[in-house]
């Protein structure tokens, strides 16, 4: 999917309940392939914004386009399908499905999206692509063969990154993925993630409350600056 | 797409082997109980209905038809009374009667019922699908002192042709009045039939008389001893217990039955075995229904445990659902995942239960057959097994609806963020 923007938001309003406004964003954009650091204290609406971008929660008003697709025009089922095809998500913690092996975790998105499976298998089998991603994120074969629940937090986050990256989705959302890592593995993780995003030509929206991480990114955006409803939430 | 979900469901279930195993065990046990009750029920019916065939009427002293059927054919309970030999001769000579086999019950040999009869019994008695009695060894009564034993009696007591048998009065295992002064010899051993015949000791009517007269009417007995002949059809006891009757034409059965029931000389009952059996089923049907209902409820309890265990696991699985949503799973997938887990647990339980009950029946069939004369069937997969399996899996899947709805609600509310 070639488009100028990975994310385009205009006059967006959102609340989980009808009479609530958690997000009121005039304008927010992320260019295709761009890597942006979104900072905001807890309660500033980061999680809500990510849910809207991921198409899990519908916007109450305004425009939101992901990779050129107007999300407000899609039914919930189509938004789910769109997310499967075009979005990779890394959570803060407990990223892995405990009963799946690291490899199965990485291949999981391709079970829900034919488009991603097709892209991932362009140069070989799905399994070899998953192994390639895990290896380039610094996980060796011995680590991969262990149970997901036996991996260290740092290793789990790398598996999660590989899962987000498989099939080269146009946009990767990372929701405080390094908050449980020590500083050296954190720096290492961010560099690897950025490198792989560039290689896959995926845009990266990296969300954190830790402003110190901003130095790794070309551009940072403070959610408090762009969210006019931010002060409502304590 | 759905194969991915089924694959996930399988891995999720096998990952929680302990809790899932307990639920599977609960369902397996309930299915085993249900099918066990059903198999015993159908086995008993099958066994009862194949015990006698080819006999059109059974006549005995006046009593309820079920009672007459039970003691004359199944050797259950005691005869309510006797009928006179004169009545027997009248009935045996009635028009349309092809054959009439007298039997005399009430005695036992080492816990096995003794049946006094004559050689026509071995010619005329039919069981199963019109199968005749066959001798595994020896032959029918050659003289008054002959004894023909069923297959089970032979193997349990270790009797062979020529073994000596002493008879007692009454039916207890231990009898005070064993009649050792009349040593009898085994002349024939019958092949196994799967009916009470296997557990019967057959003697001549003359011997029955001798046991009961014993000294008191000795001259009568001596007279009989005087003209022993090969067939013993001529022996005339004073009374017998019942008569098995075969008619020349089935159309004559009802007429003779009416005649016997209104016989002026003696109070008699004539029953059609099939009809009496139907009445018996009506009586035991209520009990069977109660057992069936109880065991069905036990299955329901097992099924509810699926909903319980899945619901209990949902809180710790909220993050798993969020991950699945994040990688593109639709709400329908989350729903399907839990339904398939429930169905998989039910299927495993049903399968284990069906295998278990069939194994148990294969193992105990011989014991039940020898101890109770009840043929429980071959132990193979029955249509009931399969129907039960399908119903349990379907109901199990339905049991997944409740936790699935909750999981769905959680997943939609949680979105991408649960910080547990």
Kindly report whether the global pTM for this prediction surpasses the value 0.90: no
Facing A50 at nearest CB: one of B12, B323, B416: B416
Confidence of residue B224 (pLDDT cuts 50, 70, 90): very low
Per domain, the residue ranges of chain B are 2-48+285-414, 57-271
- The C-alpha atoms of residue A7 and residue A23 are separated, in whole angstroms, by 16
The pLDDT score that the predictor gives to residue A230 is 62
* Residue B305 burial by Cβ neighbours in a 10 Å radius (0-12, 13-18, 19+): buried
- The C-alpha atoms of residue B235 and residue B363 are separated, in whole angstroms, by 46
Separation in Å, CA of B12 to nearest CA in chain A: 6
CB contact under 8 A, B416 and A163: no
**Minimal CA–CA distance to B243: which of B331, B353, B120, B145?**
B120
Taking CB atoms and an 8 Å cut-off, how many pairs form between chains A and B? Answer: 78
From its phi and psi, is residue B390 left (phi > 0), alpha (psi between -120 and 50) or beta? Answer: alpha
> Tens digits of per-residue pLDDT, B308-367?
888 888 877 888 888 888 888 888 888 888 899 999 999 999 999 999 998 888 888 777
Kindly state whether residue A228 falls inside one of the protein's structural domains.
no
Instruction: Write the ipTM.
Output: 0.82
CB contact under 8 A, A56 and B320: no
Give exposure, B50-72, as e/b (b: 16+ Cβ within 10 Å). Answer: bbbebbbbbbbbbbebbbbbbbb
Kindly state whether residue A130 falls inside one of the protein's structural domains.
yes
Q: What backbone phi and psi angles, to 5 degrees, belong to B165?
A: -125, 130
> Tens digits of per-residue pLDDT, B187-221?
999 998 888 898 899 999 988 888 776 544 444 43
Higher pLDDT, B193 or B178: B193
> Tens digits of per-residue pLDDT, B9-66?
888 888 888 888 999 999 999 999 999 888 888 888 877 888 888 899 999 999 888 9
The pLDDT score that the predictor gives to residue B331 is 83
**What does each C-alpha distance from B418 to A85, A156, B206, B207, B331 come to in angstroms?**
23, 17, 92, 90, 17
Confidence of residue B225 (pLDDT cuts 50, 70, 90): very low
CB contact under 8 A, B417 and A175: yes
The verdict on A95 touching B (C-beta cutoff 8 Å) is: yes
Does residue B246 have a pLDDT over 90? Answer: yes
Kindly state whether residue A104 falls inside one of the protein's structural domains.
yes
Residue numbers of the domain that contains A197:
5-223
Kindly state whether residue A232 falls inside one of the protein's structural domains.
no
Kindly state whether residue A99 falls inside one of the protein's structural domains.
yes
Digitized pLDDT (tens) for each residue of chain A, 234 residues in all: 456 888 888 888 888 777 888 888 888 888 888 899 998 887 778 888 888 888 888 888 888 888 888 888 888 888 888 888 998 888 877 778 888 889 999 998 888 888 888 988 888 898 898 998 898 888 888 888 888 888 888 888 889 989 999 988 989 998 888 887 888 888 888 888 898 898 888 999 998 888 888 888 888 888 888 887 765 444
List of residues 6+ apart from B214 with CB closer than 8 A = B179
Higher pLDDT, B177 or B237: B237
Tell me the residues of chain A between 17 and 46 that have a Cβ less than 8 Å away from chain B. none
Mean pLDDT across chain B: 83
The pLDDT score that the predictor gives to residue B101 is 94
Residue A44: which CATH number?
A: 3.40.50.300
> Tens digits of per-residue pLDDT, A156-192?
888 998 999 998 898 999 888 888 788 888 888 888 8
Number of domains in chain A: 1
Kindly state whether residue A79 falls inside one of the protein's structural domains.
yes
The verdict on A56 touching B (C-beta cutoff 8 Å) is: yes
Does residue B383 have a pLDDT over 60? Answer: yes
The pLDDT score that the predictor gives to residue B175 is 43
The pLDDT score that the predictor gives to residue A231 is 55
Tell me the residues of chain A between 74 and 93 that have a Cβ less than 8 Å away from chain B. 76-77, 80-81, 83-85, 87, 89, 91-93
């Amino acid at each position: 999917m070639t488009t100028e923007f990975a994310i385009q938001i205009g006059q967006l309003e959102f609340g989980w309940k009808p009479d609530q406004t958690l997000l009121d964003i005039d304008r927010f954009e992320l260019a295709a392939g761009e890597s942006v650091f979104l900072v905001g204290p807890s309660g500033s609406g980061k999680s809500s914004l990510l849910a809207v971008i991921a198409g899990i929660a519908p916007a109450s008003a305004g425009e939101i386009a992901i990779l050129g697709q107007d999300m407000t025009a899609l039914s919930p089922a189509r938004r789910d399908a769109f997310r499967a095809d075009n979005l990779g998500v890394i959570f803060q913690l407990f990223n892995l499905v405990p009963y799946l092996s690291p490899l199965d975790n990485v291949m999981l998105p391709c079970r829900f999206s034919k488009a991603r499976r097709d892209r991932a298998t362009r140069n070989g089998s799905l399994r070899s692509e998953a192994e390639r991603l895990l290896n380039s994120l610094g996980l060796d074969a011995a680590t991969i063969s262990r149970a997901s629940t036996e991996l260290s937090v740092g290793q789990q986050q790398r598996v999660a990154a590989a899962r987000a990256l498989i099939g080269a989705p146009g946009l990767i959302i990372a929701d405080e993925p390094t908050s449980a890592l020590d500083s050296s593995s954190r720096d290492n993780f961010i560099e690897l993630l950025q490198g792989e995003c560039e290689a896959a030509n995926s845009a990266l929206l990296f969300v954190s409350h830790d402003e110190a991480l901003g130095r790794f990114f070309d551009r940072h955006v403070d959610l408090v600056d762009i969210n006019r409803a931010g002060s409502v939430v304590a | 797409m759905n194969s991915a979900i089924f694959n996930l469901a399988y891995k999720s279930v096998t990952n929680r082997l302990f809790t899932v195993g307990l639920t599977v065990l609960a369902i397996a046990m309930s299915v085993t109980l249900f099918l066990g009750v059903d198999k015993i029920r159908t086995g008993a019916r099958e066994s009862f209905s194949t015990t006698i065939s080819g006999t059109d009427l059974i006549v005995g002293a006046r009593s309820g038809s079920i009672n007459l059927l039970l003691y004359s054919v199944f050797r259950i309970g005691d005869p309510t009374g006797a009928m006179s030999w004169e009545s027997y001769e009248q009935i045996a000579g009635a028009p349309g009667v092809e054959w009439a086999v007298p039997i005399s019950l009430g005695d036992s040999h080492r816990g096995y019922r003794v049946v006094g009869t004559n050689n026509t019994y071995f010619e005329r008695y039919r069981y199963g699908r019109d199968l005749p009695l066959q001798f595994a060894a020896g032959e029918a009564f050659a003289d008054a002192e002959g004894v023909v034993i069923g297959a089970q009696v032979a193997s349990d007591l270790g009797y062979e042709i020529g073994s000596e048998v002493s008879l007692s009065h009454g039916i207890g295992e231990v009898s005070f009045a064993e009649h050792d002064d009349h040593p009898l010899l085994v002349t024939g051993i019958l092949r196994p039939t799967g009916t009470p015949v296997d557990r019967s000791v057959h003697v001549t009517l003359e011997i029955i008389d001798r046991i009961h007269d014993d000294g008191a009417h000795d001259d009568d007995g001596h007279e009989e001893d005087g003209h022993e002949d090969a067939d013993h059809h001529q022996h005339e006891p004073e009374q017998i217990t019942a008569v098995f009757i075969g008619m020349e034409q089935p159309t004559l059965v009802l007429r003779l039955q009416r005649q016997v029931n209104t016989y002026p000389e003696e109070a008699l009952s004539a029953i059609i075995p099939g009809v009496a059996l139907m009445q018996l089923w009506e009586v035991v049907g209520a009990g069977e229904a109660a057992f069936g209902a109880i065991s069905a409820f036990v299955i329901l309890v097992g099924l509810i445990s699926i909903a319980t265990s899945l619901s209990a696991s949902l809180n710790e699985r909220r993050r798993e659902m969020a991950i699945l949503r994040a990688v593109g799973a639709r709400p329908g997938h989350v729903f399907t995942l839990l339904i398939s887990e429930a169905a998989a647990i039910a299927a495993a339980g049903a399968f284990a239960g069906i295998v278990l009950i069939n194994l148990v029946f294969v193992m105990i069939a011989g014991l039940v057959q020898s101890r109770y004369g009840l043929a429980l069937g071959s132990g193979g997969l029955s249509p009931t097994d399969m129907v039960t399996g399908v119903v349990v899996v379907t109901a199990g899947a339905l049991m997944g609806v409740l936790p699935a709805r909750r999981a769905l609600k959680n997943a939609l509310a949680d979105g991408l963020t649960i910080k547990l």
